[in-house]
Structure 1
Amino acid sequence: MIELISQHPFIAALVALVSLGIIFGAILGFASVKFATEGNPISDQINEILPQTQCGQCGFPGCRPYAEAIADGEPINKCPPGGEGVIAELATLLDVEPLPLDAEHGTESVKTYAFIREDECIGCTKCIQACPVDAILGAAKQMHTVITSECTGCDLCVEPCPVDCIDMVPLPITTQSWTWQKPVDGYQIIATDKQTPTHGDVSA
């Protein structure tokens, strides 16, 4: 075999190329397994921006599926719980123009959390089954309560309740959640914007 290769340079070159291809192919295959990234990094960043209410108002079963859809080109304006703030953050991340919230999916509202009127709760567990973030504590035929810090305000627990003992309560405004309200169009910001008559303008 060695004698045949030495007598035919073309065969020698071919064998060398095939050998190198096998070696580099093995190296690349090992590297692709060893250093593979799990999921799409941009969809992870999008998911971190979304409010994690898991409410499904966007038309997807949760925030993660919607994040993956946005990474694949879905519009960024289908999240009512996130509202204009989330849309602006997504637009900055993806370097696209911000869009107004798509009204077909709902309207932006005050952040709320679920509150169970415990003396009326019959312990049916239907709200527990409906909660996408496991923020409700309780057991069958026992009183239920909501872990406020875990509740995302998706209100998916309200409809299944057979005794209508769940209220959506606005979150209290704190120094962390307070935001500056945009001035209304035409509103006079400072006193000097308003024209007041002088003594000379007052008719006798």
Structure 2
Amino acid sequence: MSALIALGFLALMLGAVLGYAAVRFRVQGNPLVDQINSILPQTQCGQCGYPGCKPYAEAIANGDEINKCPPGGDEGIKALAALLDRKVVPLDEEREPSEGKRVAYIREDECIGCTKCIQVCPVDAIVGAPKLMHTVIVTECTGCDLCVPVCPVDCIDMPFVEKAPDDWQWPQPHATDIIPIKWVQ
């Protein structure tokens, strides 16, 4: 019994020391990196050339370009430019396909329902159940290609999706396009 009390007391003391050390020696992160990271879409897709959104946020804070995130799109670039007081630039041509948006397409008759694609999809665009066919929610897919290499039966394609007339929207004006009205008295 005394051994259990001694071990409990030792665990309590070590816990207190670790708690004190965590508070005393806490490393402060860069608040700018946290702000940049909150703007990024958190898909962790790697399309920017970095392994996730946090490393890309750190690179942006260190001077890297703000136009490497296809899932963030123009809205993300505009928000980053406003935060960092940089010029708005179009998405990097290397990361933007000229044919349009790519999305995953699962050939359902070949799908074995292994769920490996569901597990790696960063935006939960793939739905299905074990041992049943899977499908992709096209409006949610960012085209990151993470599902393609994990498919054991190679039933996932990444075709380009053409814009349909009902997908079209009026272009949003940029802040620089708005001309202030001066009232003359």
Q: Taking structure 2 as the reference length, what is the TM-score of the superposition?
A: 0.56
CA distance in 2, matches of 1:159, 1:173: 33
Cα offsets for 1:110-139 (capped at 9, x unmatched) = 556534343331224442343234543445
The amino acid across from 1:123 in the alignment is G
The amino acid across from 2:31 in the alignment is P
Q: Is the alpha carbon distance of 1:178 and 1:38 closer, same or farther for their aligned partners in structure 2, counting shifts above 3 Å?
A: farther
Q: Is the alpha carbon distance of 1:112 and 1:45 closer, same or farther for their aligned partners in structure 2, counting shifts above 3 Å?
A: farther
What is the RMSD of the two structures over their aligned residues, measured on CA atoms?
A: 4.0
CA distance in 1, matches of 2:71, 2:46: 10
- Per the TM alignment, residue 144 of structure 1 is displaced from its structure 2 partner at its CA by 2.5
Q: Is the alpha carbon distance of 1:68 and 1:81 closer, same or farther for their aligned partners in structure 2, counting shifts above 3 Å?
A: same
Q: Is the alpha carbon distance of 1:100 and 1:146 closer, same or farther for their aligned partners in structure 2, counting shifts above 3 Å?
A: closer
Which of 75, 78, 95 is residue 65 of structure 2 equivalent to?
75
Identity of aligned residues (%): 61
Structure with greater helix share of residues: 1
CA distance in 1, matches of 2:101, 2:158: 13
CA distance in 2, matches of 1:108, 1:48: 26
The amino acid across from 1:66 in the alignment is Y
Q: What is the aligned residue count?
A: 149
CA distance in 2, matches of 1:149, 1:81: 12
Q: Is the alpha carbon distance of 1:79 and 1:173 closer, same or farther for their aligned partners in structure 2, counting shifts above 3 Å?
A: farther
What is aligned with 1:66? 56
What is aligned with 1:199? none
What is aligned with 1:107? 96
Q: Taking structure 1 as the reference length, what is the TM-score of the superposition?
A: 0.52
Instruction: Tell me if 1:96 matches 2:92.
Output: no
Higher Cα radius of gyration: 1
List alignment gaps of at least 5 residues for structure 1: 1-29, 183-204
CA distance in 2, matches of 1:46, 1:174: 33
Instruction: Tell me if 1:156 matches 2:154.
Output: no
- Per the TM alignment, residue 94 of structure 1 is displaced from its structure 2 partner at its CA by 0.3
What is aligned with 1:55? 45
